[in-house]
Amino acid sequence: MPQASQAQPEQSTVKDISPTIMAIGEFWKAFRKNKPAIAGTFIVVFFILLAIFARFIAPQGINDQNIGIRLQPPSAAHWFGTDDFGRDIFSRIVFGARLSLRVGFLSVVGSIIAGTLLGVIAGYFGRFLDVVISRIFDILLAFPSILLSIAIVAILGPSLNNALVAIAIVNIPVFGRLVRSRVLTVKEEEYVVAARSIGMGDMRIIFHHVLPNSFAPIIVQGTLNIATAILDAAGLGFLGMGAQAPLPEWGKMLSDSREYIQNAPWTVLFPGLAIVLVVVGFNLIGDGLRDALDPRMKN
């Protein structure tokens, strides 16, 4: 008898895990067929590795100045050339990957947490809360994202951390409206109605049924928004509202080098190319995730 009682939980555990493994396998099978998404994954992983191992990859310090070699073109000693202070551009781009990716990931995570919370409240409980939260989303979305970011940074003060906060706030309505629309659909599904009819509490329904069935669009939108956040951070840095000197943020590097675009174009070319590659990489991954997670796209 004890042996039979022990075997039953093991079988149920296997039954619970196997659908998850199958779902992951199906997702990966669909995702790897998308060649642009795989290319985007390689690009993003490359920059993530640059950020992680920046201290070992960068040949020089980000603030090592040598006026005697200022504005030198790319060479064996300085792969991407030097800037107006004689600093190695390649080293600054490598360390700049840390700043740009940190802003992208952290701002999107903050937006997802806040937007999901507000979206669930508005979509699930509805009524007065839905009206108030939806109107707040509409007001925030009425402003161009870069202008709203500039206004928030102007209030908080120019810095990379304040730019991160501003970008997170600007993107909250995007995830809030996405989650709200998804919750409005999921909460009317039969399994949710059945769970409510047997007395399951609202919090349990939300965490066991509503949110798990809303993750797919959040993941896709989050991946795409990382690219947008990196662009916004670069734009704020270019305008002097984001990262401040001597931080090697890519947008700030573009701003500092714009007056040398004719005499030393490499000072602008390589930071701009880094921004383009990262943004394209995340956009390709987002498109691949959308195609792999959307049942309508599987055929």
Q: How far apart are CA 159 and CA 174, in angstroms?
A: 24
Residues 149-203: tens digit of each pLDDT: 999 999 999 999 999 999 999 999 999 999 998 888 888 778 777 877 887 777 8
Average of per-residue pLDDT values in the chain:
84
Q: What mean pLDDT do residues 84-95 have?
A: 90
Q: How far apart are CA 61 and CA 69, in angstroms?
A: 15
The answer to whether residue 275 sits within a structural domain is yes
Q: What mean pLDDT do residues 33-55 have?
A: 91
For residue 123, the Cα-to-chain-centroid distance in whole angstroms is 24
* Tokens 């507000």 sit on residue: 118
So what's the pLDDT on residue 174?
92
Handedness of CA 185, 191, 193, 195 (dihedral sign): negative
CATH number at residue 241: 1.10.3720.10
pLDDT band for position 296 (cuts 50, 70, 90): low
Q: What is the DSSP string of 8-40?
A: HHHHHHHHHHHHHHHHHHHHHHHHHT-HHHHHH
The answer to whether residue 13 sits within a structural domain is no
Q: Is 16 exposed, middle or buried (0-12, 13-18, 19+ CB in 10 A)?
A: exposed
The answer to whether residue 274 sits within a structural domain is yes
Q: Which residues, 6+ apart, have CB-to-CB distance to 117 below 8 Å?
A: none
What is the number of structural domains in the chain? 1
The answer to whether residue 199 sits within a structural domain is yes
Residues 99-119: tens digit of each pLDDT: 999 999 999 999 999 999 999
Bridge partners, 82 (sequence order): 88
Provide the token pair at 276. 């383009």
The answer to whether residue 291 sits within a structural domain is yes
Q: Which domain holds residue 188?
A: 34-66+79-297
The answer to whether residue 28 sits within a structural domain is no
The answer to whether residue 10 sits within a structural domain is no
Q: Is the pLDDT of residue 148 over 50?
A: yes
Residues 202-226: tens digit of each pLDDT: 788 888 888 888 888 888 899 999 9
Q: How far apart are CA 133 and CA 95, in angstroms?
A: 39
Task: Spell out a b/e string for 27-48, using b for 16 or more CB atoms within 10 Å of the CB, else e.
Answer: eeebbeebeebeebbebbeebb
So what's the pLDDT on residue 22?
57
Bridge partners, 88 (sequence order): 82
Provide the token pair at 275. 């921004």
Q: Yes or no: say if 198 and 138 are a contact pair by the CB < 8 Å rule.
A: no
The answer to whether residue 96 sits within a structural domain is yes
Q: Is the pLDDT of residue 4 over 80?
A: no
